[in-house]
Structure 1
Amino acid sequence: MILIHTKREKQINREPCISIEKRNFIAGLWHGAFLALGVSLTQPTTVISAFVADLTGSTIWVGGLSTVLTVAGALPQIFIARWIEPRPRKMPFLLLAIYLRVISWGALAFLVFTIGDQHPLTLAWILVGMLVVFYAGGGLGNIPYTDIVGKIIPQNRRGAFFGGMGAIAGPLSVGAALFARRILADVSYPNNYALLFLFAAIGLTIASLGFWAIREPSGDTSDVHMLPWKDYWKHLQSTSRRLKVLIG
């Protein structure tokens, strides 16, 4: 009798855990799907490059912007990782990163609508500034995202999680690309680009609801401490040397 009672207690205690795991799994898929939708509306190699070319008429601007965005996406991670790593919960930092990206696209849509095609060079610099914020937000978000997914998705379900995300995101990305093509063709310039930035901001906002639904467990960071800058730079140099050996 005692054994049966114990088994029932274990089953009851296990059910909430299963429910939370399922909730987190679905919420993660939700985020991945709408993130793919929002990002596909403003692909840097197609939509952004075409907009920059229309604004400046310069291939140098297009190539230079690609370099700037690569740096903007990578550089924040070097400085932010030291500060985020010791935190037991990473969700606030991920949400901050997401809404930085939402604000950048929303502000860009508003400014394109407002300025129009009267001051193309001014708009080009505004575009660069907002894109730097967007990609810096992406760089900031990569660090907590990896940690959160590692905590909420069991190891034996990560293949299903990322496979499912790809299966859902793929068709949505294709649909978003076709929709973007139609907007660019049917709406007058530059309002067509403004609409794409606005829809991208809406897509990212909807995607963020997935992370509001996630229940992030507190991580064990008792043995993790923020390194002094001097030690942190030494650690980075040591890591870069190891990577150089692996790549070389």
Structure 2
Amino acid sequence: MSLVRNLGDLFFEDEENRVCRDIPASACRDQPQNAGIHLISLTATKAGDGLLDPKLILPWLLQSVGAPGAAIGLLVPIRESLALLPQIFTAHHVRAMPRRKWIWSLGSAIEAAAIFAMAACLVAFEGAVAGWSVAAFLALFALGRSLASVSYKDVLGKTISKTRRGAITGMAGSIAAALVLVYGAALALDVLPLDRTVLLVGLGIGGALFAAAAFSFTMLAEEAGANEGGESGLKAILDNGRRAWADRQFRLFVTTRALLTATAVAPPYLLLSAGENGGEALGTLGSFVLASSLAAIVGSSVWGWLSDRSSRAVLICSAMAGFVVLAVSSGLALAEATRALWPIAAPFALFCLMLAYQGVRQGRSIHLTDMARPEDRAVYTAVSNTIIGAVLLAMGAFGLLADRLGTPCVLAAFAVLCLGATVTAARLEDVQQDAGDGR
């Protein structure tokens, strides 16, 4: 545990006593050790996510075994929506537990088991059986992720004080992205052959990382927290939703986050607008993988650090960046004079868009954690995630728009959504302002 504590000391040094502003005094002395555990666990799960990657790796593997296009097309909607929608039904159960680290560990263990099962299906089956089996286990993976997500902000808020949360989660994202970058570069430069065996080994490593994270998180020193309001049933779900929605700042936050889902769903349309079809994209993914990983490395720590200062400003900047990138991309892809150059510029556009996306992720996570009172964090997280899950499902309708009007029009529509997000984000309160002299 000394190594873990030394990692945590990177975030506190001699300031430990000055940053314990919104956690119990008894939890203050455990902050360095807890910070190290958060860093290790988050890095492991984020790296494992990169090795799984339902937008790139899983589609390649499913195509390699002849899975039907319908199964492949469901991967991203399954992964995103099922990680969010169930949370409104589980938040009250999380609320009933005085220590919620066990929920996060359980969720990560489920994710590990699901990854191992997907790898086994890809080894044992082909065609439709492989495709639908992987889709089913990806649904299980997403349900595990929903448990981890609904509990994490609450645990983070109980174990790490304000002004350090973004730095820790941001560094974990950067380290994980660096690991995935090395993996992507090895594939792009043929250091590792782009074949099914290599990607299956990577999938197995991803499962092992989730299992390691589940174990390490159990060592977190978490104080028992309030567990009132742990009632179950539809009435409790509706009451929680109404109580959260009555908060004007929460409504603005959810609206901003909903509009900014455009930064999450736009990347495939960027690739499509650059003229990539399924087969060619699999052979030339190197530049896009590298662009995405580099953006995560650069963005996670920087946006995390800035979020500790003002998560509101991060959301505004990310929304504006998303608007500019998507509007310019739409114009380049649509204009006759620049259409031939667009495939060359597309990886750079993806890099800029993923930078904005990293800002959205860091900003909205820290903003919700710092905005909500300790007793409301789990409920606010569950309600917001459920709403966003439904929004993500609805965003699938943009595929129909792309078929009718073309991908540049979809990119333009996403740009308008990001512009709207700058307006709503500007109306959010600066929730970090009360920690000014403790930074």
Scaled by the length of structure 2, the TM-score of the pair is 0.46
Alpha-carbon distance in 2 for matches of 1:229, 1:142: 21
Are 1:65 and 2:65 counterparts?
no
Please state if 1:125 is matched with 2:132.
yes
Distance 1:95 1:167 in 2: 22
Q: Which one of the candidate residues 174, 182, 207 is aligned to 1:175? A: 182
Q: 1:55 to 1:214 in 2, by over 3 A?
A: same
Q: 1:51 maps to which residue?
A: 61
Unaligned 5+ segments in structure 1 are: 1-15
* Structure 1 match to 2:167: 160
Relative to structure 1, is the Cα distance of residues 78 and 192 closer, same or farther in structure 2, using a 3 angstrom cutoff? Answer: same
The aligned counterpart of 1:5 is none
In the alignment, which residue of structure 1 is the partner of 2:49?
A: 39
Give, in whole Å, the separation in 2 of the partners of 1:188 and 1:19. Answer: 49
The structural deviation recorded for 1:51 is: 2.4
For 1:240 and 1:18, the matched residues in 2 are separated by: 32
Inter-CA distance 71–207: structure 2 relative to 1 (3 Å threshold): same
After TM superposition, give the deviation of residue 235 of structure 1 in Å. Answer: 3.7
* Displacement of 1:146: 1.1
Identity over aligned pairs, percent: 19
Shift of 1:109: 1.8
Larger relative contact order (CA 8 Å, sep ≥ 6): 1
| CA positional deviation for 1:181 | 5.6
1:33-81 CA distance string (max 9 Å, x none): 2222211111111111222334446544433332233222122212111
The answer to whether the 8 A contact 1:104-1:133 is kept is: yes
Counterparts in 2 of 1:177 and 1:42: CA distance versus 1, 3 Å: farther
In 2, the alpha carbon distance for the partners of 1:122 and 1:174 equals 32
| Closer/same/farther in 2, CA of residues 225 and 57 from structure 1, 3 Å limit | closer
CA contact (8 A) 1:100 1:133 kept: yes
Greater helix share, 1 or 2?
Answer: 1
State whether structure 2 residue 147 is matched by structure 1 residue 137: no
> Where in structure 2 are the equivalents of 1:220-231 lying within 5 Å?
220-221=226-227, 223-226=228-231, 228-231=233-236
Change (3 A) 1:20 1:183: farther
Tell me which residue corresponds to 1:202: 208
Deviation at 1:182, TM superposition (A): 7.5
Q: Which amino acid aligns with 1:169?
A: A
Aligned-partner Cα distance in 2 for 1:142–1:245: 17
Other-structure match for 1:13: none
Partner AA of 1:85 in structure 2: R
Report the Cα distance in structure 2 between the residues aligned to 1:50 and 1:153, rounded to whole angstroms: 39
Partner of 1:74: 84
Q: Contact between 1:180 and 1:196, CA under 8 Å: does it hold in 2? A: no
Deviation of 1:239 after TM superposition, in Å, equals 4.8
**Amino acid of the residue matched to residue 100 of structure 1?**
I
Unaligned runs of 5+ in 2: 1-25, 256-419, 421-439
CA distance in 2, matches of 1:227, 1:61: 34
Q: TM-score, normalization: structure 1?
A: 0.78
Aligned length: 229
CA displacement at 1:130 relative to structure 2: 0.9
Q: Does 1:233 align with 2:238?
A: yes
Q: Which residue of 2 aligns with 1:103?
A: 113
Q: Write the letter of the residue equivalent to 1:200.
A: G
Which of 222, 226, 231 is 1:216 aligned to? 222
The 8 Å contact of residues 87 and 146 in structure 2, kept in 1 or not, is answered as: yes
Is the contact made by 2:107 and 2:144 (CA closer than 8 Å) also made in structure 1? yes
